[in-house]
Amino acid sequence: MAAKQAVGIKARGSWQLTMRRLSKDPASIASALVILFAILFAIGAPLIAQWTGHGPTEQFRETGLSSAGIPVGPNAEFLLGTDQLGRDILVRLAYGTRISLLVGVVASLAASAIGVIIGTIAGFFSGVTDTILSRVIDLVMSVPFLLVAIALVSVLGPSLGLSIVVIVFFSWSGLARVIRGQVLALREREFIEAARSLGESRFSMMYRDVLPNLVVPIIVYTTLMIPAAIVFEATLSFLGLGIVPPTPSWGNMLADAANGSMYLVAPWMVLVPGLALLALTLAFNLLGDGLRDALDPTSVRGAKA
């Protein structure tokens, strides 16, 4: 009972003030609006394609390219211009946003689940279990990202699913290390000792007593993993290891701009996906920082709230 009350008081103290603290942070509010716009933009991709009359892979060589075969800039028909094949960049950007958000959210949630499970087990059981899992974490963190990606793609071929698997493989270890450190501190707390003296099993203590106290680092770290996953996906697609063209993604849109130095004659080809990638990753990072401050009652901002 004492353990439950301790957890409940802490949870209520954190969540009751979270929104008030966030509302006092202009950067967090602006970041949340950017993320909301990106979500609506991705959801509305088919509507944008219907409104413009342009499909994401449809080529308009007569109206989308100049007489010299150069992409046309922003105009009434192509609001963000076209690429080297006469495709509408606005429509491709909308569908590419779907890919970025899907990969970012799915990969981050999967990596968080793995990291929380392994980190909690390593920290709570300690001993041989902790030693083995810690060495596994160190091994994963030491493996070169691109080398593994190239090896897997050469065998299995590039795909959305493979991109997510690669990103998850390289993302969970950081959170696992953070959670392990948190659990090592929690397992010596009084409410854990009380639960142990009452005969509660280890797995029950981890689920009922430890995990509720890990909500803050899990939420913050997962939020910060999303932009990293988005950048990972863009990197893989840029190198031809991720989303297979002509399916649009921000990474292969940047690759199209770099191919043949097209960005020199059509700078919008690199500016549009590049700025979108910058804005979304920056928004998630700023929101993650804001959540960390809002959920941490010991922070300067939390103390002011």
Q: Give a yes or no: residue 270 inside a domain.
A: yes
Max mean pLDDT among 177-191, 237-251, 285-299 falls in 237-251
Residue 130: CA atoms inside 13 Å, Cβ hemisphere, count? 12
Where does the pLDDT of residue 297 fall: very low under 50, low under 70, confident under 90, or very high at 90 and above?
low
Give the domain CATH number at 275: 1.10.3720.10
Measured in degrees and rounded to the nearest 5, phi and psi for residue 64 equal: -95, -5
CB neighbourhood size of 172 (10 A): 25
- Rounded Cα gap, residues 256 and 108, in angstroms: 27
CB neighbourhood size of 16 (10 A): 9
Is 287 within 8 Å of 35 (Cβ atoms)?
A: yes
Number of domains composing the chain: 1
Across the range 7-30, mean pLDDT stands at 70
Q: Give a yes or no: residue 46 inside a domain.
A: yes
Q: Give a yes or no: residue 69 inside a domain.
A: yes
- Rounded Cα gap, residues 145 and 125, in angstroms: 30
The residues facing 88 across adjacent strands are 82
pLDDT per residue over 232-274, tens digit each? 999 999 988 899 889 999 999 999 999 988 999 999 999 999 9
Across the range 157-168, mean pLDDT stands at 92
pLDDT per residue over 94-136, tens digit each? 999 999 999 999 999 999 999 999 999 998 887 899 999 999 9
Helix 26-43 vs helix 89-125: angle between axes, to the nearest 10 degrees?
120
Q: Give a yes or no: residue 276 inside a domain.
A: yes
pTM: 0.88
pLDDT per residue over 19-51, tens digit each? 777 888 899 999 999 999 999 999 999 999 999
Is 221 within 8 Å of 112 (Cβ atoms)?
A: yes
- Assess whether pLDDT exceeds 70 at residue 12: no
- Rounded Cα gap, residues 166 and 130, in angstroms: 25
- C-alpha to C-alpha distances, 38 to 4, 151, 220, nearest whole angstrom: 39, 33, 20
CB neighbourhood size of 183 (10 A): 25
pLDDT given at position 3:
44
Could you tell me which residues come within 8 angstroms of residue 234 by beta carbon, excluding any fewer than 6 positions away? 100, 242, 249, 250, 251, 254, 277
Where does the pLDDT of residue 299 fall: very low under 50, low under 70, confident under 90, or very high at 90 and above?
low
Q: Give a yes or no: residue 200 inside a domain.
A: yes
- Assess whether pLDDT exceeds 90 at residue 230: yes
Q: Give a yes or no: residue 163 inside a domain.
A: yes
Q: Give a yes or no: residue 19 inside a domain.
A: no
Is 273 within 8 Å of 254 (Cβ atoms)?
A: yes
Of the candidates 221, 215, 292, the residue with the CA atom closest to the CA atom of residue 7: 215
pLDDT per residue over 190-220, tens digit each? 777 787 777 777 777 888 888 888 888 899 9
Domain coverage including residue 270: 36-289
- Rounded Cα gap, residues 272 and 57, in angstroms: 17
pLDDT given at position 45:
97
Of the candidates 293, 140, 169, 167, the residue with the CA atom closest to the CA atom of residue 220: 293
- Rounded Cα gap, residues 210 and 217, in angstroms: 12
- Rounded Cα gap, residues 228 and 181, in angstroms: 22
Three-state DSSP at 82 gives strand
Q: Give a yes or no: residue 140 inside a domain.
A: yes
More confident residue, 301 or 37: 37
